[in-house]
Structure formats: structure tokens, C-alpha cells
């Protein structure tokens, strides 16, 4: 009986020691360095003039010169206006832009879709073109959720 108990203890010790996590396991997983974006909007937006929306991309403190992609998506809060995904112009030095004219006033959102070295980001920022309608003002006061921002898979 003692022999079986000793054999069982040795066997369990071997099994448990095989299950010990490798202290260097963290190094085996992909280490993602997050991509960061700063969206720059002109003040003020008017319906009569085209305006340029810019984004500065950085990763690990460095400017991103050639990301995998940078697209802008713009839509109006009430869903009446929606501009499709548009590829950004590379202005150099980590800055990308889109020049756009707006035909109607209201509360808009711009979402930047960008990727570099496996990091994907989609920051969104709101802006006002011309004057706000009463519905837009109420939505801002109520902190209404964003509608109509996604057009499905694209990447």
C-alpha cells in the first residue's frame, strides 16, 4: 500500500510540475503598441466653404509616416447626410487630411479609421457646421448616442 501511495505522489508531482507556467510566457505573445490619433477640426465650419479635417498619427511616440490605411467617415447626427469611407490624403510628417464641403447645417461626426503594425483605431469626434437645429441642441443636452456611424466591414 505504501508503495502505491509513494508512486501516486511521484506521479502527481510530475504532472503538476509539467503544468507550471513558463515565466517567460509573456514574451511569446504579441506585444501591441497602440496607435494614437489627434483629430484636428477647423473652427468654424460653414456650409459655403470646404474645410480640411486633419489627423496626426503617432505610435510609440513616433510619427506614423506610412500606415496600413487611414480613412475618414463623416455623418450627420440625424442620419440625413452620410459620406462614405474616404481615403485620407497623406500630407507627410504623420499628418493625414480630408477636405470636404457641407451642404447642410447641423451636428456631424467624423470617425478616423487607421491601422499600423497591427494596431487598429477608430476615434470619433463631433463638430458643428453652421447653426444647430433644435433637435441637435436637445441631442447635445441629452448626450444622445451616436447613430449611423458604421457602414459595415471594409478592411
pLDDT in tens, 9-34: 888 887 777 767 777 877 778 778 99
Distance of alpha carbon 9 from alpha carbon 13, whole angstroms: 6
Paired with 108 in beta bridges are 76, 127
pTM of the model: 0.73
Confidence at 155, pLDDT banded by 50, 70, 90 = very low
- The 3-state DSSP class for residue 89 equals strand
Q: Quote the percentage of the chain above a pLDDT of 90.
A: 50
Least confident piece of the model among 13-22, 31-40, 123-132: 13-22
Q: Are the C-beta atoms of residues 128 and 108 closer than 8 Å to each other?
A: yes
Q: What is the pLDDT of residue 116?
A: 96
Q: What is the pLDDT of residue 41?
A: 94
Amino acid at each position: 500500500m505504501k508503495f502505491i501511495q509513494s508512486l501516486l505522489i511521484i506521479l502527481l508531482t510530475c504532472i503538476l510540475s509539467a503544468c507550471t507556467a513558463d515565466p517567460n510566457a509573456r514574451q511569446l505573445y504579441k506585444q501591441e503598441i497602440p496607435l494614437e490619433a489627434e483629430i484636428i477640426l477647423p473652427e468654424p465650419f460653414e456650409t459655403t466653404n470646404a474645410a480640411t479635417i486633419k489627423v496626426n498619427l503617432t505610435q510609440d511616440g513616433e510619427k506614423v509616416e506610412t500606415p496600413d490605411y487611414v480613412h475618414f467617415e463623416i455623418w450627420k447626427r440625424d442620419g440625413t447626410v452620410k459620406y462614405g469611407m474616404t481615403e485620407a490624403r497623406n500630407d507627410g510628417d504623420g499628418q493625414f487630411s480630408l477636405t470636404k464641403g457641407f451642404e447642410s447645417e447641423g451636428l456631424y461626426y467624423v470617425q478616423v479609421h487607421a491601422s499600423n503594425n497591427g494596431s487598429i483605431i477608430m476615434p470619433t469626434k463631433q463638430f458643428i457646421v453652421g447653426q444647430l437645429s433644435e433637435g441637435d441642441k436637445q441631442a447635445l443636452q441629452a448626450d444622445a448616442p451616436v447613430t449611423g456611424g458604421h457602414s459595415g466591414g471594409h478592411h
